[in-house]
Amino acid sequence: MKTGGYQTLTHLLSALRQWIIVTMIITGHTRCSPAYCLKQKTVDLLAECRFGFPKSLQEETELSLELVVSKNTTSVESELHTKRNDQRLNSHNRVMLENWRANLDLQVIVDEKACARYMAKYAAKGEPRSKLSVSSLQNDDQVSSAFKKAMI
Ligand SMILES: [Zn+2]
């Protein structure tokens, strides 16, 4: 039996067991609470997790394309939805997680516009109690504006 580089099946099972434990402890968003992540956008809506948990299960990895029409341009935005079999785990890579041993929220960026938007959001990311809320940024104009405000 091939064991993927492990000396014995026992070593392989031990490594898998360790990976499962590390995955559940490090990347799991096991519950939501008002003190940490639950936010109520309007009075008439239920509070929602600002990180989007629990996440929808995804049987297959899919690429979604959306036509975006703004004042002067029309473009296509793409997003990769990776396969998901657990609603409470962050997206991660097993090899990266085994070596990093800290929280991972892996995102695959599939086009240059998404890459620019991702970097701008992180550069302008505010603390949860600051006036700047990254989660409210809906389009490129809002991201650009927030980025400029944060840099001034
Ligand atoms: Zn939450």
Q: 43: CA distance to ligand 1 center in Å?
A: 19
Separation of 45 CA from ligand 1 center, angstroms?
Answer: 16
Query: Is residue 81 included in any domain, yes or no?
Result: yes
How many angstroms does the Cα of residue 133 sit away from the middle of ligand 1? 16
Q: Average pLDDT for residues 130-149, to the nearest whole number?
A: 66
**Amino acid 131: pLDDT:** 55
Ligand 1 center to residue 102 CA distance, Å?
18
- 45 pLDDT band (50/70/90 cuts)? confident
Task: Give the structural domain span for 79.
Answer: 17-123
Q: Distance from the CA of 13 to the center of ligand 1, in angstroms?
A: 31
Q: Which residues of 50-82 are buried (b: 16+ CB within 10 A; e: fewer)?
A: beebebeeeeeeeeeeeeeeeeeeeeebeeeee
Please state, in angstroms and as integers, the Cα–Cα distance from residue 89 to each residue in 26, 33, 59, 151, following that order: 9, 16, 15, 33
Asked if the structure places residue 143 within a domain, the reply is no
Gap between the Cα atoms of 35 and 142, Å rounded: 27
Provide the mean pLDDT of the chain: 81
Is 116 part of any domain? yes
For residue 133, pLDDT over 80 is answered with no
Residue 151 has φ and ψ, to the nearest 5°, of -85, -15
Q: Which residue has the higher pLDDT, 46 or 19?
A: 46
Percent of the chain at pLDDT above 70?
84
* 67-118 pLDDT tens trace: 888 888 888 888 888 899 999 988 888 788 778 878 888 888 888 888 888 8
* Number of domains comprising the chain: 1
| pTM of the shown model | 0.59
Distance 71 CA to ligand 1 centre (A): 35
* 109 vs 22, residue with greater confidence: 109
